[in-house]
Structure 1
Amino acid sequence: MTSSTTQALTHITGPIVLAGAGKMGGALLTGWLAQGLDGGDVAVIDPFPSDDIKALSARGVRINPLAAEVGAVSTLVVAVKPQMFRETGAMLRSFAGPDTLVISIMAGTPIKTISDVCGGKVVRAMPNTPAAIGRGITVAVAASDVSKAQRATTDALLRATGAVEWVDDEALMDAVTAVSGSGPAYVFLLAEELARAGVAAGLPPELATKLARATVSGSGELLHRSELDSATLRKNVTSPGGTTAAALEVLMGADGFQPLLERAVAAATKRSRELAK
């Protein structure tokens, strides 16, 4: 993370309440503490906190305090599953005052719903699982009543686990969820199926898995580091009439990768919209 991010986090004043400390909520919390946020400024609300989360109490993080014990909350980060939100909403509302910044990372849950249930000034965000290693990307959209300072606080908290992009149109968030929120699963599936195809071509399973895993992760790192776009990197690997060209002829055909991925992203976008109902 950049030094400016660290500085921004150390200047955030609590208390911050994190509702839900699963994989994504836990990744955010770990990122905040690593970037210098005082654990004493954070309270975690989770009915079944993991041992790793419980251990953070040694750094001052409060686990499942009552709202009265926390006091006036500056920021409430909602990282519960969307299906659980309405069940837990009444309890979460006890932590949020009218001016509390409420950051939601729940898929498919619109700003209006979050505002109706929790109150506060709402920012809706969609991170992804590479946040666990500080390489995530999050897209955020703010309600019209979110202040410039609250937007800066949101940016600093989300940037602790990777890059942050802002949009003005909330309607884009369903497609964001389908591309970057769900996207890591598509990449993992590519590694899985590439290994399976290697086995079908005669490779021992262990070797096929190692080759597929290293190829996908290494190619991702090359894409991350290179200034070239993905299409140029692909072309650089592809010699005319060679083995890569033969494979790409299949993958880029009428029934190949592009139309299949379009349908997959469309299905995920549709599901994200359904979750809002």
Structure 2
Amino acid sequence: MKLGVIGVGHLAETILRGLLRAGLRPEDICLSPRGHGPQMAKEHGFLLADDNAAVVAASDLVLLAVRPGDAEEAVNGLPWRENQVLMSACAGVPTARLAGPSAPARVVRIMPITASELGASPTIVYPMDPAISPFLDAIGTTMALDTEEQFEAATVSAAIYGWAQDLIRTSAEWGASRGLDPALARQLAAQTFVAAGRIQSEQEAPMGDILASLCTPGGITAAGLERLEQEGIHPAWKGACELVLDMLSTKK
């Protein structure tokens, strides 16, 4: 199956690197000629199309990774055909806005993150389509949603991914300020977040029970959490999630 990419920006570049890492052949992937397309084709052997119409004509599955405001214009008037799938990674752009301009192709929404490059993206998808599974599985874990409303709420996780990066950086900088080697402080903070995620992901105990098992009364974890709660961390975090969801909704 041939993959085409319209919009070769930073996100698409990480997806492409993840696909190469998983063993997909660059000659089976066709890139649009703008953005990072020419450089990626030169460096890795991807096919480079003359224009977006050529991308669609050469592909069975097309990844759309342009700015959300440009999504409809980017797919309109291209030679879409039956049994083709348009896989949109444009946040906040519902399937209804793309279905007409890309008919008769099927429209699927996905939201990968830049950890695709490492094969570690938890990629949400709606609606699930068997044709896209090999590509999404190559860049991480595929998580199918039942409704577009669920997909929109789950898209907030892409922003949370960035917030986690900021918490890791803040923790590393604090450790370095207290005398740790900066490289060690960075790895310690990063791997601590990885470990926390794995515990929650791979154990079946309720999330609250896992946390409670770490919070010995009078201990350092409990004391730190109490301080964070006093500072209003939970309302602020949930408020940020609601803000992002509202932003996604206004793009409709």
Residue 80 of structure 2 aligns to a residue whose secondary structure is coil
**How far off its partner does 1:34 sit?**
3.3
**Structure 1 CA distance, aligned partners of 2:159 and 2:11?**
13
Residue 175 of structure 1 aligns to a residue whose secondary structure is helix
Aligned residue pairs, count: 246
**Structure 1 CA distance, aligned partners of 2:55 and 2:159?**
37
Q: Deviations over 1:186-216 (max 9, x none)?
A: 10121233345557xx625x64784365234
- The answer to whether the aligner puts 1:19 opposite 2:15 as a matched pair is no
* 1:11-90 pair list within 5 angstroms: 13-14=1-2, 16-49=3-36, 51-57=39-45, 61-66=46-51, 67=53, 71=57, 73-90=59-76
- What amino acid is the match of 1:187? A
**Structure 2 CA distance, aligned partners of 1:95 and 1:26?**
24
Aligned partner of 1:160 among 135, 138, 147: 138
**How far off its partner does 1:46 sit?**
4.0
From the superposition, tell whether residues 86 and 215 of structure 1 become closer, same or farther in structure 2 (CA, over 3 Å).
Answer: same
Residue 126 of structure 2 aligns to a residue whose secondary structure is strand
8 A contact 2:4–2:55 mirrored in 1: no
Q: Deviations over 1:77-124 (max 9, x none)?
A: 11112123244233xx42422432111111000001111232211111
- Give the CA RMSD over aligned residues: 2.7
TM-score by length of 2: 0.84
- What amino acid is the match of 1:252? E
Specify every segment of 5 or more residues in structure 1 that has no aligned partner in the other structure, as ranges. 1-12
* 1:155-234 pair list within 5 angstroms: 155-178=133-156, 180-195=157-172, 203-204=178-179, 207=181, 210-211=184-185, 213-224=187-198, 226-227=202-203, 230-234=207-211
Question: Which residue number in structure 2 is paired with residue 6 of structure 1?
Answer: none
Question: Which residue number in structure 2 is paired with residue 106 of structure 1?
Answer: 90
Specify every segment of 5 or more residues in structure 2 that has no aligned partner in the other structure, as ranges. none
Q: Deviations over 1:215-247 (max 9, x none)?
A: 343332353265265544433433211222211
- What amino acid is the match of 2:63? V
**How far off its partner does 1:36 sit?**
3.5
8 A contact 2:75–2:101 mirrored in 1: yes
